[in-house]
Chain A
């Protein structure tokens, strides 16, 4: 009996080792996205509200010239600490087409908090025409769709930060196509978007440092929030759920022991 269990344990061990090798195996990537630390990671992760707010400013002042965010409304900004008046002001800074009115005509009016972020282009064709044929993707879910795969994959924020800080001079001999830009972290290293951010490109309302690194991190945090505005509620509910389940499980474990003591 003993001998057999040693053999079985050995097999189980070998299986486990190979399984770990499997799980650890990562596809060889052309580019390696550096992993950063973010306030919203981990079991207790929360957004840094000031950072997300600054990130919105980066989006508004720079990104929104080309990138839409069709899943976001101005009212959502209340969640990251903008006051009602500030939101009304931000919304009113754009003109949107509404209607038809009673006369059957479309009309222009100032934006309202319930409006979605005004897109920079009327349609895909207009966006491509203005951008050398390339389509600037919608940014609402960019942090989620560009995340690394699997449990240990990099965050979408890591990817955004890497791209924004990855503009370099192309290495000697690199064939850069017309109208393209070299980026260390973009697949194939050729990206249609010209370098959008640089040191001092945005002057933050709260006077925070505005190097390229700061701006990139802030906008990456903002886009992570926009990708999952309920992240904090998820973490908090999760902690409550786990706490409840631990008590539930221990209770039933105790009852199980008690009930089964008659059998054993």
Chain B
């Protein structure tokens, strides 16, 4: 399998340590479906963001002081006195958001095109593991500037573990390194925040290894059947990835340079104060859907379990969606439920942002407290309000109700709709091969004939 290289030094090394052959094989010649759409760009974009986060993070750590008395000011020192410190910090804090955007699109793409299906189940599971690690890393990173939202976010989220019966309190004490969120908490979060990205990097390597076993899925969801279906990764997908990366970096640069704190919370510019609780404690936007699921169930333990289940359900997705057709493009019913899921996740994000008791007035573009609704309806107490209310001509839905409806759909999609669709859905005929599908989409007009759905399943 060793390739032949012209350069004698490379040939000498490659004979003893075939890294160049490996790269030639896995990054250059690597056969890739010729029909990948731009939705397939987000994997490499996520990889790029991981590199940006590690690089900026290493330099930030050189200037940061993990101590409750100095953390806030050391971050402000980075912003003010360190050369280009403001840029490093804005790249890092907005980079977290960009990383999640890329990864969320990557995950939805995987769900839509059935990229998790046999033989790529393990690839998918490793991906979900990366998501979990990212969430832990992002959460601990947000605590480090030691602002009000850092401190109270840490307090709320770590307290969730106390809902676990018997061992809950011990777990919380272990996380805190004491009996409250304090200096030991900040120290261990800093340590882990530096460690976990390298763990993620390792798992990403395994993710790519698993990917290269069978190669990328593609928009038709059918396997490559021969050389006519594939093209070498380089130069075709290297240039396509670079172009997509350019567009994404423009988007990233807009936030970093022209709206650097729009995705954050202004309260985090106030130093942490354990004696003063902010009015609304909200996590960063990328955690809002999970936060909404947590809060839509009034019982603490059940809420925590539901939040955990919302990720756990992704691990078993390959066994929930048993439809032999991978790609959503040939699954008319699935398509509708899928886009509803995307929409429902947006609703969850929205619901996570506001206090559960508030009402959303869709026709008036506003969120109002329950007291306002009660006053509009001339009610004595807010207890007399309905979750969906027409108080005084104002149509409003309570945030918690919105979150509950969305939560029910989220779980129903995975646990009920997908298994049923696998049995009852009438899928469209698949193209005979990838190259046939490409010709058709270019107006070749060839009659589509059916191929077996999942040959390697």
Residues of A within 8 A of B (CB): 4, 8, 11-12, 15, 18-19, 21-22, 24-28, 43, 71, 76, 140-141, 144-151, 153, 156, 227-230, 233-235, 237-239, 241-242, 245-246, 248-249, 252-253, 255-256, 259-260, 263-264
A25 to B336 alpha-carbon distance, docked (Å): 26
Let me know if B274 is at the binding interface, CB within 8 A.
no
Cβ contacts under 8 Å, B354 to chain A = 27
A260 touches B257 (CB 8 A): no
**Structural contact, B246 and A25, CB atoms closer than 8 A:** no
Task: Say whether B157 faces chain A, with CB atoms less than 8 Å apart.
Answer: no
Which of A146, A227, A235, A249 is within 8 Å of B257, CB to CB?
A235
B61-105 interface bits toward A, Cβ cutoff 8 Å, 1 = contact, 0 = none: 000000000000100100110000011001000000000000000
- Asked whether, in the complex, the Cβ of A249 is within 8 Å of the Cβ of B365, the reply is no
User: Are A149 and B270 neighbours in the complex by a CB distance under 8 Å?
Assistant: no
Question: Is A241's CB under 8 angstroms from B80's CB?
Answer: no
Other than the given A151-B259, A234-B260, 20 more pairs (CB < 8 A) read A4-B332, A11-B339, A15-B346, A19-B343, A19-B346, A27-B354, A71-B76, A71-B80, A141-B269, A144-B266, A149-B265, A230-B80, A230-B86, A234-B257, A235-B258, A245-B246, A245-B250, A248-B246, A256-B239, A256-B240
CA A179 – CA B126 in complex, angstroms? Answer: 61
B243 touches A253 (CB 8 A): yes
Given contacts A11-B336, A229-B80, contact A255 B266 (CB under 8 A): no
Q: Would you call B362 and A21 a contact (CB within 8 A)?
A: yes
Known: A15-B339, A245-B246, A249-B246. A26 touches B257 (CB 8 A): no
A25 and B80 in contact (CB under 8 A), knowing A145-B267, A238-B256, A246-B250? Answer: no
A26 contacts B365, C-beta separation under 8 Å: yes
Q: A252 CA to B250 CA in the complex, in Å?
A: 13
Chain A residues within an 8 Å CB radius of B266 = 144-149, 153, 156
Looking across the interface, which residue of chain B has its beta carbon closest to that of A235?
A: B257
A27 pairs with B366, CB closer than 8 A: yes
Contact with B249, one of A15, A245, A255, A264 (Cβ below 8 angstroms): A245
Residues A242 and B250 in contact in the complex (CB < 8 Å), given A146-B266, A252-B239: yes
- B interface residue count range (under 10 / 10 to 19 / 20 to 34 / 35 or more): 35 or more
The answer to whether A145 touches B86 (Cβ under 8 A) is no
Q: Does B360 contact A (CB under 8 A)?
A: yes
| Docked pose: A45 CA to B281 CA in angstroms | 32
Cα–Cα, bound, A146→B269 (Å): 9
Known contacts being A235-B257, A249-B250, A260-B240, is A8 close to B335, with CB within 8 Å?
A: yes
Query: Could you tell me the distance between the alpha carbons of A28 and B258 in the complex, rounded to whole angstroms?
Result: 27
14 pairs, CB–CB < 8 Å, chain A vs chain B = A15-B342, A18-B362, A25-B360, A25-B365, A27-B354, A141-B76, A149-B266, A228-B79, A242-B253, A249-B246, A252-B245, A252-B246, A259-B236, A264-B442
Chain B contacts for A229, CB-based, 8 A:
80
Q: Contact string, B263-285, partner A, CB cutoff 8 A, digits 1/0?
A: 00111011000000000000000
Query: Closest CB of chain B to A215's CB: distance in Å?
Result: 24
B261–A144 touching, CB < 8 Å: yes
Within 8 Å CB of B339, what residues of A?
A: 8, 11-12, 15
Inter-chain contact A21/B365, CB cutoff 8 Å: yes
In angstroms, Cα B246 to Cα A233, docked, is 23
Q: Is the CB of B253 within 8 A of A241?
A: yes
**Bound-state Cα–Cα, A260 to B365, Å:** 46
Residue of A21, A233, A239, A260 near B236 (CB, 8 A) is A260
Q: Which residue of B lies closest to A248 (CB)?
A: B246
Residues of chain A contacted by B360 (CB below 8 angstroms): 25
B32-64, CB under 8 A of A: which get 1 and which 0?
001000000000000000000000000000000
Q: How long is the Cα–Cα vector from A21 to B258 in the complex, in angstroms?
A: 24
Asked whether, in the complex, the Cβ of B258 is within 8 Å of the Cβ of A238, the reply is: yes
Query: In whole angstroms, what is the CA distance A258 to B80 when docked?
Result: 45
Cα distance A144–B86 in the bound complex, in angstroms: 14
B243 adjacent to A233 (CB under 8 Å): no
Q: Closest CB of chain B to A21's CB: distance in Å?
A: 6
Report the minimum CB–CB distance from B60 to chain A (whole Å): 15
The reply to whether A256 and B269 contact each other, CB–CB distance below 8 Å, is no
In whole angstroms, what is the CA distance A149 to B266 when docked? 7
A contact residues around B346 at 8 Å (CB): 15, 19, 22
Q: Mark B348-361, 1 if CB is under 8 A from A, else 0.
A: 00100010001011
Q: How far is the CB of B457 from chain A (nearest CB, A)?
A: 26
Contacts of A234 in B (CB 8 A): 86-87, 90, 257, 260
Does B242 make an interface contact (CB < 8 A)? yes
The stretch from B133-141, B158-166, B367-375 touching chain A is: B367-375
B235 touches A (CB below 8 Å): yes
Among B269, B347, B369, the one with the most A-chain Cβ atoms within 10 Å of its Cβ is B269
Residues of B within 8 A of A242 (CB): 250, 253-254, 257
- Chain B: minimal CB distance from A205 (Å): 26
Which residues on the B side are within 8 Å of A76 (C-beta)? Answer: 80
Question: Which residue of chain B has the shortest Cβ distance to A239 in the bound complex?
Answer: B257
Q: With an 8 A cutoff between CB atoms, is B247 at the interface?
A: yes
Say yes or no: is B9 at the interface (Cβ < 8 Å to chain A).
no
Assess the A28–B369 pair: CB atoms within 8 A: yes
Q: Which residue of B lies closest to A19 (CB)?
A: B346
Contact A249–B243 (Cβ < 8 Å)? yes
